[in-house]
Chains A and B, each alone.
Chain A
């Protein structure tokens, strides 16, 4: 496959167009049905939806240390099939990515398996071993290739330590991504505290466990005048606080996940461990508020928080199951259902899964402007596929939509002008 070709007859942001790619970069884009044929290979777009290569700024690849759940190879293959040209991989590996060695390992393994993409950008641990006590060596992590820092996996309850981490990180020009959860309020909580947890006899964690730290982060961001990124926002109260902050010009960005846009706590009925995730699935009202947050730009990013686990780990009583939903394979298809319902628009997806992650983390993106790297995803909105162990590329099959038929799937994924993924029709059967 040359790095010079034409993609004909696709729909981009609602308009029919064709794209000419040369030397792995976007060369030209023609709208309407004008045919500007070149003597180059042609990919027939068949009216499919064209998206830029997406950026997933929150995934857990489990490598090093827990390769039985997922490794960099299987995780990136899921990213590729899911339409993500780049993922930001969190630090709660074994050993924790709090030093240059682990960072370099992750980058070089990704580079050797997938030299042309999808790309892996590591997120360094905020504290050593993620223990919340000592700061990790931020400059060392940055120089080794980390693009951000996070405590994700283990919330930081000590506000003084968190404050110092923000200050130090800002000098190293690394954005801090915070997993907001007050550990004392959330302790022992297995799902959202509410009507369902009460009925099932499960200890819940209250929404305030999240919103309390969202408030802390906003106030620190204001006080220190340092930007902060809030991970996986799940509830109405958090959205309201972020809105308040942005109105005041406080530099806070926020992220949510497909599962908070689609599902609520009722999915846990029957003790369904596939719906066990942290932050937990909340109430319907929270789902509505999070959707509105995305539409109105209060929430800037949609990431998967891809959290693969082995089947046997989830096949246990609810209290014993690890938290997490495997999301790379299904994200676009799930979000597409919201576009079909009119809850979100394609422009929202492009903004939240490409433009904003790119600007927030300082990463390249494809804006379909001349010279942009040709990272292109063709999404077929009519292709129905069944979510099964075989149809998921991730080693993690832990998704609540297992066994369901989803409408819409990535057909083609081009990165840097190279066709790296093509969905074969037999795969959907």
Chain B
């Protein structure tokens, strides 16, 4: 069966049904990750290029492992050490890569719209692993998949996204995915870290963390980029962590069974208290595990199309 999307650049074009299909497929692949021989031959002979123009631990390794567990040949290219340092344009870099006939390119880039740009230049599918402030669809999918193991039903649940919303591709994609699944989404942060247009987002806006936590079922903590303080957007990190850092006491205001997430990497003690990150309510490491499974599902789907899931 065919998958109606050639590229995965943002969440918006995916239907609710397609998202649940990806969750199901990820669940099947997750089982492979627990076997002694963590490999299946499904993508044998396929060439996947990871073009990561921005530093990344988890996303890049996650895609790498996902591809290799499906027996694909995965090649990594970073800007550092590539001809882009010699001034080669992105267009030429990408056309050069495409001339080697990859079956799929995964892109992370610091400029919003770079994956769209690349997709317009190459013949193979492109998966966006995060572009600028704009979109991080695979992160949103793994966040949804992580919570799907604890939530029977998404409708009626409330999710709080906490932190630097304005500059966050994770926030934008999470809002898109979770509202599509019927979750009520809240955002909380200081006004300088909320986009000017936040009132037109399908979310409830809170400036007080205590108010925002009341009755929520899950909290996604966003990393505070330390440069924001230098840019005049915040008085100090101390002030930020005192007013917007998530601590165990905030959880007592939330719904029973509340879960805490973080896309990583974390600034322990700034946006999230260290003990909370390691506690039993934290799903941070589950997210990493879910990330590999979801990316296996995505690589499979974008290379092989849709399969029957029971």
Contact = CB atoms under 8 A, between A and B. Distances in A.
Contacts of A271: 112-113, 116-117
A249 interface: no
Contacts of B2: none
B131 interface: yes
B197 A198 contact: yes
Interface in B124-168: 131-135
A322 to B, nearest CB: 13
B131 to A, nearest CB: 7
Nearest to B110: A319
Given A317-B117, A320-B111, A201 B197 contact: no
A316 B197 contact: no
B132 A201 contact: yes
Contacts of B112: 200-202, 271, 317-319
Nearest to A194: B197
Given A194-B196, A201-B131, A201-B134, A270 B116 contact: yes
Nearest to A313: B89
Nearest to B12: A199
A203 B233 CA distance: 14
Nearest to B116: A271
Interface in A304-353: 312, 315-320
Contact of A317 (B114, B133, B172, B196): B114
Given A316-B89, A316-B90, A198 B114 contact: no
A274 to B, nearest CB: 13
Interface string A78-117: 0000000000000000000000000000000000000000
A319 B211 CA distance: 37
A73 to B, nearest CB: 28
Interface in A184-211: 193-195, 198, 200-204, 206
A320 B91 CA distance: 12
A202 B197 contact: no
Contacts of B91: 312, 315-316
B169 interface: yes
Given A315-B91, A317-B117, A200 B109 contact: no
B133 A201 contact: yes
Contacts of A201: 112-113, 131-135, 169, 172
Contacts of B34: none
A200 B89 contact: no
A310 to B, nearest CB: 12
B195 interface: yes
Nearest to A206: B196
Contacts, number: 57
Contacts of A315: 91
B284 to A, nearest CB: 24
Given A201-B169, A271-B117, A312-B89, A319 B132 contact: yes
Contacts of A198: 195-197
A202 B133 contact: yes
Chain A CB within 10 A, most for which of B109, B134, B169: B134
A200 B196 contact: no
B249 interface: no
B137 to A, nearest CB: 12
A155 to B, nearest CB: 20
Contacts of A206: 196
A203 B196 CA distance: 11
B113 A317 contact: yes
Contacts of B196: 193-194, 198, 204, 206
Given A201-B133, A318-B111, A195 B197 contact: yes
B111 A319 contact: yes
B309 interface: no
A316 B197 CA distance: 27
Chain B CB within 10 A, most for which of A198, A315, A316, A320: A198
Contacts of A200: 112-113, 134
A101 B113 CA distance: 43
B200 interface: yes
A272 to B, nearest CB: 10
Nearest to B131: A201
Contacts of B89: 312, 316
Contacts of A270: 116
A318 B133 CA distance: 13
B113 A318 contact: yes
B139 to A, nearest CB: 14
A319 B91 CA distance: 14
A198 B116 CA distance: 17
Contacts of B111: 317-320
Interface in A124-150: none
A119 to B, nearest CB: 38
Given A201-B134, A317-B111, A195 B116 contact: no
A315 B94 CA distance: 13
Contacts of B117: 271, 316-318
Chain B CB within 10 A, most for which of A194, A200, A206, A317: A317
Chain B CB within 10 A, most for which of A201, A204, A271: A201
A200 B111 CA distance: 11
A270 B196 CA distance: 21
Interface in A278-293: none
A341 to B, nearest CB: 29
A317 B90 contact: yes
B170 to A, nearest CB: 11
Interface string B195-214: 11100100000000000000
A319 B109 CA distance: 11
Contacts of B90: 316-317, 320
Nearest to A320: B111
A195 B113 contact: no
29 contacts: A193-B196, A194-B196, A198-B196, A198-B197, A200-B113, A200-B134, A201-B113, A201-B134, A202-B132, A202-B133, A203-B133, A204-B196, A206-B196, A271-B113, A315-B91, A316-B89, A316-B90, A317-B109, A317-B111, A317-B112, A317-B113, A317-B114, A317-B117, A318-B111, A318-B112, A319-B111, A319-B112, A319-B113, A320-B90
Interface of A: 193-195, 198, 200-204, 206, 270-271, 312, 315-320
* 4 A-B pairs with the lowest CB-CB distances in the bound complex, closest first: A201-B134, A271-B113, A201-B133, A201-B112
Interface of B: 89-91, 109, 111-114, 116-117, 131-135, 169, 172, 195-197, 200
Given A198-B195, A201-B132, 13 more contacts: A194-B197, A200-B113, A200-B134, A201-B112, A201-B133, A201-B169, A202-B134, A271-B116, A271-B117, A316-B91, A316-B117, A317-B113, A320-B111
